[in-house]
Amino acid sequence: MASTTTSVPMLREQRSSSLRGRRRWPERIAETLVKLVSLISIGSVILILVFVGKEALPVITSSVVHREVTFGALFAPYRDAGYMWQPVSEVPKYNIVPLFVGTLKVTFVALLVAVPLSVCAAVYVSELAPKRIREYLKPAIELLAGVPSVVVGFFALIVLATWVQTVFGAEHRLNALVAGFGLAFAVCPVIFSVSEDALRAVPDSYRTAAVGLGSTRSQALLRVVCPAALPGIAAAVVLGFGRAIGETMIVVLASGNAALLDASLEHSTRTVTATIAQELGEVVVGSAHYHVLFMLGALLFLSTLGVNLVGERIVFGMRKRLGGSR
């Protein structure tokens, strides 16, 4: 693709420069307008950064907020209470460590389920499935991404929680395990879709060469095709991770929402997103609690931004290396 993409726009450029003399005002207005509108996307990202950051900043700078909490105190344990998130008690406690641990716990379960399932499914759809089924399989799996997350959450709350309790015998009906399984529904299509693209991007010459050298189908797949697509699969996992830590409604409904700090997957747990979703509606605007919630949002935004940038970079690099034959 590299060679063709450079030649096509160059031709386009020459053509537009030859027309430039004849251009009249509607042409110019249209181009400017379209260009300005495309700035909306850049503006939105900047505005999100600025306005979430603006409300989060008082946690670091404001002396009024510092009477209740400082930025360092968000991570340090309380002397008498330890790692505690209890923003609406007599002495409000804002320790966000349990929330991040909760997010990681749920995400861990989700990835543990989703990664093997979706990567295997991607291998099947892109390499092994009969041609006729293949065309229907990918859209069918991507249909899962179209189920609104609140519906998946509701399903996890009503149905999945009962199943999990029957199988694992957890004491609490809603726990990290249930939320993680629910989250897997949302993460699977992401990982599947990206890794299927990555596998498909491996040139056919790799496969023919491997088979020509006498390897079996599984050898060609596991030793040649999969290693070549590995960066793309890694990117898929990274993007799936980004999706998982940002998901809100599934964990609000299915995690049980107790801000406990422990390693058990069978205890109720509370994530960063669920905390924002549940507490922002009732918080006093401008209070320390309000600013801490925005700080949580800002941290979440920055981490997903970083995760997504890494993922995009890997995909881009891989496409370049494989010559971009999609």
Partner 1 sequence: MSALVTPGRPLARRPNLGDRSLIVLTTLATVIILLMLVIVVGDVVIGGSHVLSWQFISQAPTDGMTKGGILPAIFGTVALTLLMTLVAVPAGVATAVYLSEYAPADSRLARAVRVCIANLAGVPSIVFGLFGLGFFIATVGRAIDVVAFHGQPTYGKPSLIWAAMTLSILTLPVVVVSTEEALRAVPRELRDGSLALGATKLQTIARVVLPQALGGILTGGILAVSRGAGEVAPIMFTGAAYFLPYLPCWCCSFSLSSSTSWPSSYARASGGVWLRAEALAWKFGSARVRLRPRAAAPRSGSPRRERSG
By CB under 8 A, the residues from 75 to 134 that bind partner 1 are 116-121, 123-125, 127-131
Q: Kindly write down the DSSP assignment for every residue of 143-186, as one continuous string.
A: HGGGS-HHHHHHHIIIIIHHHHHHHH--SSSS-HHHHHHHHHHH
Interacting span for partner 1 (CB under 8 A) from 36-44, 167-175, 228-236, 258-266: 36-44
Q: Considering beta carbons, is residue 39 or 88 the nearer one to partner 1?
A: 39
Identified binder of partner 1 from the candidate list 14, 62, 81, 148, rule CB under 8 A: 148
- Interaction of residue 312 with partner 1, rule CB under 8 A: yes
Identified binder of partner 1 from the candidate list 60, 81, 213, 309, rule CB under 8 A: 309
Find residue 264's DSSP bridge partners.
none
Q: Considering beta carbons, is residue 68 or 127 the nearer one to partner 1?
A: 127
Question: Phi and psi of 88, rounded to 5°?
Answer: -115, 45
What is the footprint of partner 1 within residues 248-287 (CB under 8 A)?
A: 248-249, 252-253, 273, 276-277, 280-281, 285
CB of 301 within 8 A of CB of 246?
no
Give the list of residues 6+ apart from residue 174 with CB closer than 8 angstroms, or none: 157, 161, 254, 255, 256, 257, 268
CB of 108 within 8 A of CB of 181?
no
What is the footprint of partner 1 within residues 213-232 (CB under 8 A)?
A: 216-219, 221-222
CB of 175 within 8 A of CB of 263?
no
- Interaction of residue 207 with partner 1, rule CB under 8 A: yes
Identified binder of partner 1 from the candidate list 51, 81, 171, 323, rule CB under 8 A: 51
Q: Considering beta carbons, is residue 76 or 320 the nearer one to partner 1?
A: 320
Identified binder of partner 1 from the candidate list 98, 192, 202, 269, rule CB under 8 A: 192
**If we measure between CA atoms, which residue out of 314, 160, 151 comes closest to residue 234?**
314
Could you tell me the smallest distance in angstroms from the CB atom of residue 260 to partner 1?
21
In angstroms, the CA 1 to CA 320 distance is 9
Could you tell me the smallest distance in angstroms from the CB atom of residue 127 to partner 1?
7
- Interaction of residue 21 with partner 1, rule CB under 8 A: no
In angstroms, the CA 232 to CA 190 distance is 12
- Interaction of residue 188 with partner 1, rule CB under 8 A: yes
